[in-house]
């Protein structure tokens, strides 16, 4: 065999998280947020990502409590919803992405917006107390913020706002951080994406590494 490499999955995880904790500057994260930050760094393969992570006070504790109560996880993209490790969820929580609902195309045309944004209109019946995870579409995060400007709109328990990209991603996350309609976490700037968002959900769902 020309290549010798670590074959024990559990050992790979242990070494990975030990490396992150040895190399990343995690001092500013509290005990609830630190495991979330570590998993997000792991998903990105990027020590240094922690400099771009922002957690509002109480985010980790609030999000965990919501899942423990059975709150659904509302996802903007199927890359996010499919990445959630169901066995980690504490209450067999529903993981929902409405992007492929047949009503979405008409909602998008009628509203003059993207399908990713329009799909959030179908969240309204499940939005109260939910964990929201936006990891792909800046338009979805902007639409959510506009929805939450209405006092009659149900409020989620917590928001993971990590859309990625060059148009609107930085601005939508800055807007979430400025408004904070619910406890939230963001990755500042253009960084983000589905894998990082899934990592945050899985870390919230269970502290097990």
Q: What is the pLDDT of residues 30-77, one digit of tens each?
A: 999 999 999 999 999 999 999 999 999 999 999 999 999 999 999 999
* Beta carbons within 8 Å of 101's beta carbon, 6+ residues apart: 119, 122
Residue 19 covered by a domain = no
Residue 99 covered by a domain = yes
Residue 119 covered by a domain = yes
Closest CA to 75 of 35, 151, 145, 127: 127
- Virtual CA dihedral for 71, 191, 38, 157, nearest 10 degrees? -20
Structural domain containing residue 197: 51-205
Residue 128 covered by a domain = yes
Number of domains in the chain: 1
> Which CATH number covers residue 85?
3.40.50.10230
Closest CA to 87 of 208, 185, 194: 208
Which residues are known to be catalytic?
Answer: 42
Q: How many residues does the chain have?
A: 209
Residue 32 covered by a domain = no
Pairing of the two strands 184-187 and 53-55? antiparallel
Query: Taking the mean position of all CA atoms in its chain, how far away is CA 60?
Result: 12
Residue 55 covered by a domain = yes
Q: What is the pLDDT of residues 164-201, one digit of tens each?
A: 999 999 999 999 999 999 999 999 999 999 999 999 99
């Amino acid at each position: 065999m020309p290549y010798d490499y670590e074959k024990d999955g559990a050992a790979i995880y242990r070494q990975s998280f030990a490396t992150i904790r040895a190399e990343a500057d995690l001092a500013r994260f509290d005990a609830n947020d630190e495991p979330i930050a570590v998993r997000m760094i792991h998903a990105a393969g990027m020590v240094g990502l922690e400099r771009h992570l922002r957690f509002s006070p109480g985010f980790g504790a609030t999000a965990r409590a919501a899942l423990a109560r059975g709150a659904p996880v509302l996802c903007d993209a199927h890359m996010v919803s499919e990445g959630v490790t169901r066995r980690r969820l504490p209450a067999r929580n529903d993981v929902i992405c409405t992007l492929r609902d047949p009503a979405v195309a008409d909602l998008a045309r009628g509203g003059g917006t993207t399908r990713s944004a329009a799909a959030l209109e179908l969240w309204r019946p499940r939005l109260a107390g939910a964990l929201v995870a936006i990891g792909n579409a800046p338009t979805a995060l902007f639409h959510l913020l506009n929805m939450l400007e209405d006092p009659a709109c149900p409020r989620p328990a917590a928001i993971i706002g990590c859309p990625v990209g060059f148009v609107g991603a930085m601005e939508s996350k800055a807007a979430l951080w400025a408004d904070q309609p619910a406890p939230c976490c963001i990755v500042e700037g253009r960084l983000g994406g589905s894998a990082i968002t899934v990592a945050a959900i899985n870390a919230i769902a269970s502290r097990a590494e």
